[in-house]
Structure 1
């Protein structure tokens, strides 16, 4: 039986909808490549926040860190724990939790907190920044990967197109895409006690590699990615499903750089944030 909290938490419902692991499978190579640049050493304690099924958490563990993956979606936590069990990884565990209130995690617990396209989607961004700073040890580092509003590459455009078909958000809603704006990141971490001089930015790319055509990859987003699923639900009510499908297929075909028939490779630009605590 659902609790009242579960019924009124739209963020939890969004990420438990569908099966994001189907999308995450196309992100594995880029996840491991990003982790390899973070200076992770054996024995480090890492929090991977908004971890999904372990796209970055598992590579972190393979470098010798002790990793706790936290995600709001029960199905993704279960999928992550299944992956580590199948791979025989003993230094990584996944548990359910909310980035806006990591109540069961102690202050100063982690050498590094990593959140790649995860915590950015949580509501109350100032609470998210405060919690990430709180659980990270002094001298530690926070790493975020955030999609950039208005960016012409894949994910920002998927979310932009999807938003055009969905009802207006409730009053007080803060777009997750604002985590991709440097001034907002500085403001949020400054409120959590971080000197702006300790915040650095760069741009990087994630490449989605799918063993299907671009139109087949659109179907994966349509059937398994919460935001796109919601957009299609709304479009269907308005008789615009075909129009949404056409827009997304044109986007995916345009962005595909794989010359092999039946395969798709699409890069997406994101803001890489590093915060010294």
Structure 2
């Protein structure tokens, strides 16, 4: 279920967000992020047999990790093509994980359904964060875990979004990276949690090609970057490409033929009241 949200410019925000996240090929893009996803997942110590919901699951990078470890997994995402890809990956491995197209602001599950509710760089992009927070809390059992990983405003990816979001962000939508701000997270989730641990961590981006090719990789396969370039004329695209190439080159910690960059995120782990 995907509810309609109309922005201050009169545009259906959800339709625009779906167009962003169905663009490119996030499955291919996310394969370079699997090591960081596993690091985040392993710190959660998910018990075999528990019921886990992954919100904003993409093509299943975290949900499939949990399913392989014996959890009873459901993944949801606003992008139908990614849900189909996650289903195909689960079938190929003989996993029983279930994937559905659904809205993080209106999850189609009864109260207290899941032992663990996760979101790895996913739910942070929904346009109404207070609704997201209510839903994450609602579907989690008392004593259960809510875990998120969200880009911080000041981190590498958070700053990169400044260059991209001005071309694609619906007007009136709160900045997604506010989910990476400690005070904001406490305000949104704290009332529903008996414990809340916030830790800044680094996500390692590593590519076997130079920064200029990383920018092209993002343009082709990462929905927000893909749509940002598509919204510009030739001169605008050249300017954005130059800006992004300089940004990646400045932060590259590898040699000229490879790229290694660290993107800061806020790890959010809470216990439901």
Q: SS of the residue aligned with 1:52?
A: coil
Counterpart check, 1:138 vs 2:142: yes
Q: SS of the residue aligned with 1:112?
A: strand
Question: Post-superposition shift, 1:50?
Answer: 0.3
Flag structure 1 segments of 5+ consecutive residues without an equivalent. Answer: none
Q: Which deviations, in whole Å up to 9, do the C-alpha atoms of 1:205-225 show, x marking residues without a partner?
A: 211233433211111111222
CA distance in 2, matches of 1:84, 1:260: 37
Question: In the alignment, which residue of structure 2 is the partner of 1:252?
Answer: 248
Of the candidates 159, 162, 165, which is equivalent to residue 161 of structure 2? 159
Contact 2:67 2:73 in 1 (8 A): yes
Q: Which deviations, in whole Å up to 9, do the C-alpha atoms of 1:87-134 show, x marking residues without a partner?
A: 2223x12111000001x2111111110001100000110110000000
Report the count of equivalent residues.
Answer: 264
Contact 2:200 2:264 in 1 (8 A): yes
Question: In the alignment, which residue of structure 1 is the partner of 2:124?
Answer: 120
Question: Post-superposition shift, 1:34?
Answer: 1.5
Question: Post-superposition shift, 1:174?
Answer: 1.1
Question: Post-superposition shift, 1:169?
Answer: 3.9
Question: Post-superposition shift, 1:233?
Answer: 2.7
Question: In the alignment, which residue of structure 1 is the partner of 2:102?
Answer: 97
Q: SS of the residue aligned with 1:21?
A: helix
Question: In the alignment, which residue of structure 2 is the partner of 1:213?
Answer: 210
The 1:167/1:88 distance shift into structure 2, 3 A limit, reads closer
Q: How does 1:1-277 map to 2 (within 5 A)?
A: 8=12, 9=14, 10-90=16-96, 92-102=97-107, 104-151=108-155, 153=156, 155-164=157-166, 166=167, 169-170=170-171, 172-190=172-190, 193-195=191-193, 198-236=195-233, 239-259=235-255, 261=257, 263-277=258-272
CA distance in 2, matches of 1:32, 1:247: 31
TM-score, L = length of structure 2: 0.89
CA distance in 2, matches of 1:68, 1:149: 29
Q: SS of the residue aligned with 1:240?
A: helix
TM-score, L = length of structure 1: 0.88
The 1:60/1:258 distance shift into structure 2, 3 A limit, reads farther
Question: In the alignment, which residue of structure 1 is the partner of 2:8?
Answer: none
Contact 1:108 1:138 in 2 (8 A): yes
CA distance in 1, matches of 2:253, 2:60: 26
Q: SS of the residue aligned with 1:41?
A: coil
The 1:122/1:5 distance shift into structure 2, 3 A limit, reads closer
Flag structure 2 segments of 5+ consecutive residues without an equivalent. Answer: 6-10
